[in-house]
Structure 1
């Protein structure tokens, strides 16, 4: 499990951070919501996607 987490941080974290930033800049303008709502939704999406990626890498091997 430790190796899976290390691989996740090395290869996936920069891409996830980029997606996180894009989500925060685009979501408020599309949905016409305030920044606090955007941050909450963006954080939830970021955490869920990160967990799915870690589980998928653990089940089907490292990418």
Structure 2
């Protein structure tokens, strides 16, 4: 993730829950797409590793570090 660009993550089912492991990240559903989230860093060069977990409508949990 980076401060200057937004990453779009596409899931096979509708996103129900997103947990960000750090306040250095922001995320939200993309407009008009229930299975796409957009993620971006809130600070430049954030110093620590972090994670993000997503649960979709079909019950699949997708952890990411």
Greater helix share, structure number: 1
Asked which structure has the greater CA Rg, the reply is 1
Q: Which range, TM-score by smaller chain?
A: under 0.3
**Structure with greater contact order relative to length (CA < 8 Å, sep ≥ 6):** 1
Greater strand share, structure number: 2
